[in-house]
A and B are shown apart, each in its own frame.
Chain A
Amino acid sequence: MATATLDRCGEVLARLARGDVSAFEEIVQAHQSMVFSIAYHFLHDRSLAEEAAQDVFLRLYRNLASIKSPKHLVFWLRQVACRRALDQLRRLPKAPPVSLENVAEPAEDPPDSDPLLSRGLRRMVASLPENARAVIILRYQEELELAEIAQILDIPINTVKSRLERSLEVLREKFHRWAGGVAR
């Protein structure tokens, strides 16, 4: 199935190369969930995540000529989404509040088996240091191998490994404290 998606994406890229700009919409639709989710899990705010995700696609539009293949496209989107979310995170205290009118309605997501637990875990992930958060998001949202994460974040694989282990340890501790609080 993944191969079929890549083939389809390859066709769309070929159409774009021939100057068919409408093909870009298909690229956005195919990857919007991935880009938005990376930004959302970083920022823990839907409106900020949407802004960041939109910027990623605008940047993609400007850099379409540098995309070599569907695989490269996915790699590029993940990398730029992480960088853009990190930038947004660093600018966060200075960012002006977004009015409620501009906040998009949340789309329907498949229900979690334990919504309270999932929400708690997402909050814990959002409280991790930004570099550790990037590793956790790429590992558990995108289900990437350590080598792929190292490539996207441009860091050594051993750093990814140690950050992942440390973050899981911190998350486990937080989770036990939180679970104790909820049980009481």
Chain B
Amino acid sequence: MNRWEEKLREALRRKAAPEGFSERVLARIRELPVQEERPWGRIRSFIARPAFRWATAMLCLVIAGSLVYRARQEHQRREGEIARMQVKQALRIASLKLNVARRKVQEINREIPQSRL
């Protein structure tokens, strides 16, 4: 500590509290209403416990994790549903096309033997 800091330390030296300070504090304490322990006070002190806070944080994490998991599952299910619909649609279109082709072939088959004969 240099001289400058020594001066600062001297200037900021602790001051004596005013005369009768402790008596005035005690008088104010005596004026305080006697507080009965209320139920919410117990709840508050319970909530303030670090163990409770950790447990709440863990619970929040578990809930958030399960929500994310469920959302992902739902997303996958919906995508599967869409894919199933698309396959169904593709099969329907393919069957229509096949029917058209079959009909055409049948018509051609019907016409060719007659002309040859």
Contact = CB atoms under 8 A, between A and B. Distances in A.
Given A58-B28, A172-B4, A141 B13 contact: yes
B9 A112 contact: no
Interface string B2-15: 00110111111111
In the complex, which range does the number of interface residues on chain A fall in? 35 or more
Interface size range of chain B in the complex: 20 to 34
Contact of B10 (A25, A54, A104, A112): A112
Q: Would you call the interface of chain B mostly helix, strand, loop, or mixed?
A: helix
Contacts of A157: none
A92 interface: no
Given A28-B26, A33-B16, 15 more contacts: A28-B25, A33-B15, A37-B13, A37-B15, A46-B18, A50-B18, A107-B15, A108-B16, A109-B16, A114-B7, A121-B11, A136-B12, A140-B5, A140-B11, A140-B12
12 contacts: A24-B29, A28-B26, A32-B25, A37-B13, A54-B25, A58-B32, A107-B18, A112-B10, A117-B11, A122-B12, A136-B8, A141-B14
